Amino acid sequence: MWRELKARMRQRYRTYDYPRLEPVLPVTFKGMPVIDPSPVANAAELVEQCPTGAISADPGQHLRLDTGKCLFCGACERACGGQGVRFSKEYRLAARARDDLMIREGESRLADALHREAARLFGRSLKLRQVSAGGCNACEADVNVLNTLTFDLGRFGIQFVASPRHADGLLVTGPVTHNMELALRKTYDAVPSPKIVIAVGACAVSGGLYADHNACGAGVGRLLPVDLHVPGCPPHPWTILDGLLRFLGRIP
Amino acid sequence: MKPSGFVPFVHGDAVPRRKVPILEIAEFRKALLDAIQGGQRLVSWSGHEAGDGSVELLAVLADDVNGTLAAAVTRVRDGYPSVTPECPQAHWFEREIAEQWAIKPEGHPWLKPIRFHAPYRAGASMPGGEGSPLPGVTDYFHMEGDEVHEVAVGPVHAGVIEPGHFRFQCHGETVFHLEIELGYQHRGLERHLRGGPDRKTVHYLETAAGDTTIGHATAYAHLVEQLASVRVPSRAQVLRGVALELERLANHTGDLGALAGDVGYLPTASYCGRIRGDWLNLTAVLCGNRFGRGLVRPGGLGVTVDAAAIAEVQKRLDALEKDLTSAVELLWSTNSVMARFEETGCVSRQDAEMIGLVGPAARASGIARDIRNDFPSGIYRYAHIPVGAWHSGDVFARAFIRWTECQRSIAFIREQLSMLGEGAVQVACGLLAPDTLAVSLVEGWRGEICHVALTDPAGRFAHYKVVDPSFHNWFGLALSLRNQAISDFPLCNKSFNLSYCGHDL
Ligand code: SF4
């Protein structure tokens, strides 16, 4: 008992006072891309280097970046020396509509709250069933980490449950492999309505790197209606938490 | 002269394909079985199209004692006599080859799919199965008798975890046999590596098993560097080693916490959960990403790491070491934890050797096997980390080994960072050597990661094979459940903590 108490003292209180305090991210963190309004001379080269086809250019060499496909690898930023596109430290990336993930010059859209009825139903208590459908265990790990002391997801009334029957919705990771399609659909069917679907990570949002594979689909949206998209490879835990809270109308 | 056996070579030296002997199947089998008898291990065995309608099987053996590798190929059309009855560690490789190439290993005792996909050879089907396979649908080992019952779990499990299907044959609470069917995570990754390296290759390997980003990226980088004959600057070598040990620390810490959680000991479970995240944050200090995405690249590093970042890692390392020690040592002095850890899920040394376990699971069964020591590359050629082993082969051993490894990784990182030199972290890799075989081994946190590649006449990958440590170890988990209470499954499972996607690829 004494040993446990001593350890308890050493470990201190670790829960971060979020959302009151802004999270501290490493200096090299890559968040929301910022697209320069001027045309980029070597746009074709940037597009050529992107592993997932996330970045594209219109005929006038103006760039667009789909954060739903982006791995945040920074190849494009390096190729243009940060002139055409650079990655800011903005960790809030989640969006309701798939189209809102397409970043052009100027402002991007953050996830807005659910409609009133859904917020009334889930806003104070959201139970989620997690399904990994080809995820590489990075997204899964950074979803799981929300249950640790630092984030303490439970204090927001959000909880992962063991059975889809007890859930209000699914949180899906991975591009949806063919071998998981049936299991994912059955899990979705087992969730009582009204229900929501959250896609976490580039694979779940768009198929990511695996979008054109025979063994996979191109993300959850091909199979189920998605209510919230969280970009990243994998998304930072703060990005996921921000998305969830924004979605529930818990932060403006 | 006709070649008579496998060609030996040193880890790190690429071998021209013409020097790799093409053996008749009988000769190949004999040479392979003799080598295994002599204590060598099968680290990779895979097929690729030979071009004449047959399939070329390439095997790579490791001699841990002498630190040498050996390779040979053989060509088969439809089948060959299985080596599994005499060499059980080949069983999963032979199942994989049968599934991918519709080549039947005659006499294989449990020939079933491992990933449930259609074979790569057009028009062919897995021996015994026609048409498109359905995931998890196969001929399960089945017991009959009064009070014998079957428990099926998955693919979707209760936690935030990847999918797999587990079938237990039970008598009351006691598990007689556990059969594990995977493949739900199969993304077809390896087939897309052919023709590379290209803009996607490194990202595929970073996501082969996302919790082993550094391990697989390092194996890939080391393989390309052999083929391009480049020397990686020492600062980059050191930082790769530091990142690999941080990855080990994060995952071992997470596992120790999860094991504590599974026996209902919450203090260590919650402390380790937090500390695990803080190890990931240290990796993010180095490169911006918690899993080390973008850190390791062929030729060195993909990022420049400045002095401020190094200082930050050093500072946080000291505090984390104290926190981790305080959290983990509670385990060993708590009777209720030890009572659950000890003598649960035993895998004997003999079984571990026979099925070819790797990594902490092998070391927990008394086998001092560690790539960092036996086949060192990069910084590990100059800085040795002592190999720990424990004899009991139970959950306790697998937990305790992790703790010893954590302590040694911390000491390694501290020492390496204290003498880190200045200089470049990246050299350019030119074209890859044509028609060459390269093998790359890395001790990831789960154990031995093996990448094997063959290049074509243009220096592109004609064949690329990834062997994640989980490939060797899933059967170890099945063995650990024999005669165990079914309620101990979660604990045993955590004590291995294997990768689904690393296996399924
Ligand atoms: S950062 Fe995103 S858009 Fe840019 S190259 Fe990488 S994946 Fe493509």
Whether A106 maps to a domain, the answer reads no
Average pLDDT over residues A117-146: 89
| Count: domains in chain A | 1
How far, in Å, CA of B442 to CA of B379, rounded? 12
Structure tokens at A75: 């190849």
Decide if B330 and A179 are in contact by the 8 Å CB cutoff: no
Interface of A with B in 173-192 (CB under 8 A): 174-175, 177-180, 182-183, 187
Beta strands in chain A (DSSP E): 33-35, 55-57, 63-66, 85-87, 102-103, 126-132, 158-160, 169-173, 196-200, 228-230
Domain B7-106 identical in fold to domain B196-479: no
C-alpha separations of A240 from A139, A204, A246, B369 in Å = 10, 13, 10, 39
Look at residue A96 in the predicted model and tell me its pLDDT.
87
Structural contact between residues A143 and A240, judged by C-beta atoms closer than 8 angstroms: yes
What CATH number should be reported for the domain whose range is B7-106?
A: 3.30.460.80
Cα dist. B164→A24, A137, B152, B220 in Å?
36, 13, 11, 27
**Pocket probe mutation, ligand 1, options A30, A34, A36, A55, max atoms within 8 Å of Cβ:** A55
Contact assignment for A215 to B200 by CB distance below 8 Å: no
CA angle B75, B81, B83 (to 5 degrees): 95
Q: What is the pLDDT of residue A112?
A: 66
Q: Name the CATH superfamily housing domain B196-479.
A: Cytochrome-c3 Hydrogenase, chain B (1.10.645.10)
- Only one residue has tokens 């590596």, namely B193
Selection from B214, B215, B223, B133 nearest residue B181 by Cα: B133
Sequence ranges of the domains in chain B: 7-106, 196-479
Ligand 1 centroid – CA A86 distance (Å): 10
Query: Does A51 contact ligand 1 (Cβ within 6 A)?
Result: yes
In a domain, A52, yes or no: no
Cβ contact B267–A10 (<8 Å): no
Query: In this complex, do B163 and A180 lie within 8 Å of one another by their Cβ atoms?
Result: yes
CB–CB contact B288 A136 (8 Å)? no
Q: What dihedral angle (degrees, nearest 10) is formed by the CA atoms of B64, B42, B189, B473?
A: -80
pLDDT of residue B187: 93
Alpha-carbon distance A171 to A143, whole Å? 9
Helix (H) or strand (E) holding B467: strand B461-467
Three-class SS state of A33: strand
3-class state of residue B365 by DSSP: coil
Helix/strand number for chain B, H first, E second: 15, 17
Of all protein residues, the one whose alpha carbon is nearest to atom 8 of ligand 1 is A50
Nearest Cα to B383, choosing from B286, B213, B242, B215? Answer: B242
- Note the Cα B88 to chain centre separation in Å: 18
Residue A193 in any domain: the answer is yes
Of the candidates B267, B287, B290, the beta carbon closest to that of A4 is on: B267
Q: If you ran DSSP here, which 8-state letter would residue A177 be given?
A: B
Specify the pTM: 0.94
Q: Which of B203, B320, B347, B351 is nearest to B252 (CA)?
A: B320
The answer to whether residue A140 sits within a structural domain is yes
A76 CB within 6 A, ligand 1: yes
CA distances from A232 to A140, A238, B402 (A): 12, 11, 30
CB contact under 8 A, A148 and B274: yes
Q: How far, in Å, are A103, A104, A149, A230, B371 from residue A48 at the CA level?
A: 18, 18, 42, 25, 37
Give SS3 for B186: coil
Q: CB within 8 A of A249, min separation 6: which ones?
A: A113, A114, A119, A123
Per-residue pLDDT tens digits of chain B, which is 505 residues long: 444 589 999 999 999 999 999 999 999 999 999 999 999 999 999 999 988 889 999 999 999 988 999 999 999 998 999 999 999 999 999 999 998 988 999 999 988 888 988 888 876 777 666 667 788 888 888 888 888 888 888 898 877 888 889 999 988 889 999 998 899 999 999 999 999 899 999 999 999 999 999 999 999 999 999 999 999 999 999 999 999 999 999 999 999 999 999 999 999 999 999 999 999 999 999 999 999 999 999 999 999 999 999 999 999 999 999 999 999 999 999 999 999 999 999 999 999 999 999 999 999 999 999 999 999 999 998 998 999 899 999 999 999 999 999 999 999 999 999 999 888 899 999 899 999 999 999 999 999 999 999 999 999 999 999 999 999 999 999 999 999 999 999 999 999 999 999 999 9
Distance CA A192, CA B54 (A): 52
Q: Do A26 and B267 touch (CB under 8 A)?
A: no
The rounded distance, in Å, linking the Cα atoms of B253 and B320 is 11
Cα A49 to Cα B13: distance, rounded to the nearest angstrom: 30
Q: Does ligand 1 lie within 6 Å of residue A55's CB atom? A: yes
Most confident of A10-19, A102-111, B201-210: B201-210
> Which residues in chain A are closer than 8 Å to B274, comparing Cβ atoms?
11, 14, 148-150
Of A47, A45, A48, A67, residue with least CA distance to A56:
A47
Question: Which residues in B68-88 are b (16+ Cβ under 10 Å) and which e?
Answer: ebbbbbbbbeebbebbbeebb
What SS3 class is residue B122? coil
**Residue A204 belongs to domain spanning:** 116-247
What letter would DSSP give residue B426? B
**What average pLDDT does chain A have?**
89
- Is residue B390 a contact partner of residue B363, using CB atoms and an 8 Å limit? yes
What are the strands, taking DSSP E only, across B198-333?
296-297, 300-301
| pLDDT of A108 | 59
Question: Does A41 map to a domain?
Answer: no
**For residue A130, pLDDT beyond 90:** yes
Specify the ligand 1 atom closest to the Cα of A55: 3
Q: Whose CA is nearest to atom 4 of ligand 1?
A: A76
How far B411 CA sits from the closest chain A CA (Å)? 21
- Would you say residue A163 lies in a domain? yes
Determine the pLDDT at residue B484.
92
Contact list in A for residue B209 (CB cut-off 8 A) is 136-137
Q: Is ligand 1 within 6 A of the CB of residue A73?
A: yes
Give me the amino acid identity at B32.
L
Is B71 within 8 Å of B437 (Cβ atoms)? Answer: yes
List CB contacts (< 8 A) between A50 and chain B: 199
Output the residue whose Cα is nearest ligand 1's atom 5.
Answer: A50
